Structure 1
């Protein structure tokens, strides 16, 4: 009996997924536990295995397409089974992908029936730069080969089909070609009277699943959690000296970020009110310390978690953060590596940022924004001397944390950072 496979919910914040790759095609045999597809969530691209034995009878979401969680992803069953009723019963969520499949995978005989549009008359050589010459691979007998769906999409976007290279059969333009077209070689506007070439252009980039989730979660945090901010300056002279001494040992490499993580973790032990979450009906006081470390990736921001950070040494924290950051950039993080944070750190000091404020990362009640170390004149023993100052700003959810509570936490954090030996005992 045929079985329907639905788009899985692979993370706590996932509402829709993108099929990054199919490892099977329709008609292929599939075994339970065998890799079926790769699904791109809002945080990572994850492998998805089949739950059933049989033959892949239907693909409901083509590669590169988006579908909501619990919509029809595929059907597996016996080779001779009729699955039309199952597809129809799966709801309208599978109709669009099925239509796309039909659009993208027409047999060669139907390719010749694709709607054709007249190619525009060639313009004088001086009317456009050489780079803007229309492509010719999709032109047959003076007409442009284009699918109906691609033509409609091009009309909606105002795209000139003569500048798109078709990747379909015989150079035919498909919807995918229109979606991926970037008008960098579109003809420029006529030069102004002064002789200067002036033109306006823009590119609309589709919003990734990660960016959609970032927008939704941070908007919810900013507009539902009343934020307030506390900034403090740290004297980093002792931290610089301690780091230099530690890194002088063979095989040891400790960063200032590692020291911040350790100092935060130990401070949270003394201030459990900061290590808390607002759950609506209750405030959860976490006895464990899981530090989320914000990592910038191409599509946005991921927050892998260093678990039980208060019980780990500086070198162990450093090695773990390095591995997690690399996996984040490669989109290979697993749910257990990004879930469960009780506090978050965002460090932009390496980018030359001296001070900033961050938005609380739910379910945390606080996030620490860390700036870079800068040399400034400071007063020590009645003398003005050069000092190494680092500013940090604590963003707090006022529903959970009050001003005095946040200030007390920062004082403890300051003691650890200005006297790193305290973190080693």
Structure 2
């Protein structure tokens, strides 16, 4: 009986992978066309992956909690020739079909550099300036587009660092921006090695749990916003004619409608 692959679909223009949340069917189950058999989470929403045709779910190559790249084979369906012809599905081995199955092991993995492999203190994972986020020793595939923590204007605690301080930060893979928010106890607000160790002890007590793809995307967007310059321009506007017109109008439109009308013109 021909096998029809179920591929990880392209769920959005910017979606490269998704995390499997639930398996809604098991091998041996009879499924129908357009039936949801997997629930996946992208960095934007939770969606369902459906079947192209009806048949018997014969093989499942994924498991819950696993990240799947777009185009990877998730499962196989044993379908009849009549069902394949009716649904227009492409069986495995067709010349138009990519090589299957594509397991997570076949996806090239990024190898961290030597500094990323250095031993970190227990419970503290500073992946903000490295090659990937880390949580409880697990690499998360969503990469930050901006390195380091945001540095608010006016923070001067990280302007000067002693050689001992620099050595400790190099050991942890941290940069000056990562400690800019620490309130320093040294001269002129300088962050000392004791301030850093106290902060590390405080961070080590934070609860550790895996962030969802959506939360990582939100955090990355907030991080990028700190690198965008904020500017505003204004000019005075004489509002008396507008207010007078509004007072004599039976509809009493809101001020925003006047602005929208002016913008459209």
Pick the TM interval, shorter chain: 0.3 to 0.5
TM-score in terms of structure 2 length: 0.42
TM-score in terms of structure 1 length: 0.28
Higher strand share: 1
